[in-house]
Structure 1
Amino acid sequence: MHSRRRFIHAAALAAIGGGLPPAALAQPYPSRPVRLIVPASAGTQIDVAARFMAEAVSRRMHASIVVENRAGAGGMLGAELVAQAEPDGYTLLVAGIPLYLSRWLSDAKAGYDPVKDFEPVAMLCSSPLGIAVAADSPYRTLADLVGAMRQAPDRITYSSGGDGSAAHICAVMLNDMTKTAAKHIPYKGNTPAVTDLAGGRVDFTCQGAGGILPLVKAGKLRALAVTNDQRWDVIPDVPTVVEAGVPGFDLTGWIGVMARAGTPASVVQKLSDAFVQAAGTPEFKSFCDQQQMFVQVQDHRQFAASVPGYAAQLKHLALLARKG
């Protein structure tokens, strides 16, 4: 009788995996393709960065990483997809400032909380902004522009690529910190926003380096200041906003990778290691130079420690933008 029971027990174990414990039966991560969701259209800076990293990380993880563009609603559609995915590390989000701004600027109900529903994996690079005017503008310094906004509130205009864009929030922050006001002229994309600035139809804009540097070099725009904490090597004579007279001003766009909250720590660590290693290569540095971005790498612990500060700043700016 005892022998028969042992036989039945052994047969049952064999049927569920040869008697191995569940942990031993689990397949190592990743065992299938990883989806990398880009909440923007193809060809945008965040999309190009995602495709570079997907190829580099695929080689390191020996797994396929597939980029999927899910543009719409200021990036909220892509963020919602990841927030509602299984927390298993197979659906990741390429994130930036819009992850927070779109949620707090939109009247539409978002299907995610930008802080609680995502687990930071790694920050990859930053994209500082430059405040620019037309080459023939009467404003030759940032102090000139601030003075004009102070003297004639809401008469000075600025262009952006749309509500909640980096240019929009940059100007909101500048107005808030200098106690001035300007009129927002939103466009459907950054290109027309910059084109109309060069044509003199608006007074200033605040755009990424890739958007303004070609026109600065062509003599069609004049850069007044850069928004991060250091000058750009390509235009070393242009001061930071702090140097130009606005203490404490620091606004920089960034690109990072997020997983769904609740993703196993071991999976987050493996992803973080792979993305950090890929972002630390000379090839990525060269890529960022071409895109007018700066390599700014943080692993998942450093990135997670930074997120609350980013979120608080952007929520404050979003609320100010809504009031405006």
Structure 2
Amino acid sequence: MPIPRLPRRKLLLLAATLPAPALAQAFPDRPLRLVIPWPPGGTNDIVGRLIADGMATRLGQPVVIENRGGAGGALGAEVVAKAAPDGYTLLLGGSGSLTINQLVRRRIPYDPATAFAPIGMIGSGANVIVVHPSVRATTLRELQAAARAADPPLNYASPGVGSTGHAAGALVTQVLGVEMEHVPYRGTGPAMNDVVAGRIQVFTNALAPMQPQIQAGTVRALAIAGPRRNAAMPDLPTTAEAGFPEIQAATWFALLATGGTPPDRIARLHAALNATVADTDIRRKLEEGGLDVETSESPAAFARFVQQDHERWAPVVRRAGVSVE
């Protein structure tokens, strides 16, 4: 018996009643790319690889890492800003590449207001102020005295112009009332190498990549620039305890997609991210690296956090006089 042919209108109505998976393949159906806008070896790289592995398990697709350093994170961010808005290209963003960089650079190759679709937070960690052992200072007061007496001036490293480390280092010099020369690098790893080698005297950065060197004694930690001590280094005083409460600098890490990515895909990525950060083993590794793990209840909540962070850092950057042509 021949099968009757349905009119086109009835076929369309039937299609409308089918569940979404029957009409289109579920997202994601191919590998994703996570752009880390810094070279390998720094905190961004450590955090990004942990998150990529965890999300790959939960999304059922590989998450391929692409390190794209330069311009304080702007080069890597530009890759994501100009990618297809389909959720397959992600950015490990942070306070440096998303907040400080936009405040200090007069020209950025994308519109920060529309270039990215916020997904969610991973965590944050107060920056640690370290010196090479050749610097005769075990406290911030002693660093202040050493810097005032230095001729030529001491120098301080940053992971790049426009990074959180750049603004934090400038803030240290401003609050201490000293002159120090800024030496920018293309990431935390190269900067740390020169600090350990003694070519750089002072460095302010997130704890994770510096912790092994602190424990080995190749650099000396003076203080942590946060409101409370860090569980990974409980004996290290805060900047407030050291007498300089104005020095507050934290690095936060988060995930974003290209602006215009469909909300349902953002929701899928947000759920996978939060599940990853909630994983006991991943959370432990993040905390051992000095991060206070903190997720966003929604992409919209994370978007509000980014705006508030911008408003908090803007006056700090202006007072420190940090700017890039």
Provide the TM-score with structure 1 as the length reference: 0.81
SS across alignment from 2:120? strand
Alignment of 1:122-271 (within 5 A): 122-149=120-147, 155-191=153-189, 193-198=191-196, 200-271=198-269
Q: Is the 8 A contact 1:126 1:295 kept in 2?
A: yes
Task: Tell me how many residue pairs correspond in the alignment.
Answer: 316
For residue 3 of structure 1, what is the aligned residue in structure 2?
none
Write the distance in 2 (CA, Å) between the matches of 1:192 and 1:254: 20
Q: C-alpha displacement at 1:211, in angstroms?
A: 3.6
Alignment of 1:9-88 (within 5 A): 10-11=7-8, 14=11, 19-20=15-16, 24=20, 25-88=23-86
SS across alignment from 1:210? coil
SS across alignment from 1:209? coil
SS across alignment from 1:20? helix
Write the distance in 1 (CA, Å) between the matches of 2:151 and 2:239: 20
Greater Rg over alpha carbons, structure: 1
Write the distance in 1 (CA, Å) between the matches of 2:167 and 2:119: 25
SS across alignment from 1:55? helix
Alignment of 1:103-122 (within 5 A): 103-106=102-105, 109-122=107-120
Q: What is the CA deviation profile of residues 48-105 of structure 1, one whole-angstrom value per residue up to 9, with x for unaligned ones? A: 4323322322332334433333334332232122222333323221111223333444
Q: C-alpha displacement at 1:195, in angstroms?
A: 4.7
Write the distance in 2 (CA, Å) between the matches of 1:69 and 1:198: 23
Identity of aligned pairs, percent? 30
List alignment gaps of at least 5 residues for structure 2.
none
List alignment gaps of at least 5 residues for structure 1.
1-6
Task: Let me know the Cα RMSD of the aligned residues.
Answer: 3.4
For residue 4 of structure 1, what is the aligned residue in structure 2?
none
Write the distance in 1 (CA, Å) between the matches of 2:260 and 2:164: 30
For residue 98 of structure 1, what is the aligned residue in structure 2?
97
Q: C-alpha displacement at 1:205, in angstroms?
A: 1.7
SS across alignment from 2:129? strand
Write the distance in 1 (CA, Å) between the matches of 2:38 and 2:108: 16
Write the distance in 2 (CA, Å) between the matches of 1:226 and 1:136: 20
From the superposition, tell whether residues 36 and 202 of structure 1 become closer, same or farther in structure 2 (CA, over 3 Å): closer
Write the distance in 1 (CA, Å) between the matches of 2:42 and 2:130: 21
Provide the TM-score with structure 2 as the length reference: 0.81
* 1:305 is aligned to 2:304: yes
Q: Is the 8 A contact 2:77 2:97 kept in 1?
A: no
Deviates further, 89-98 or 79-88:
79-88
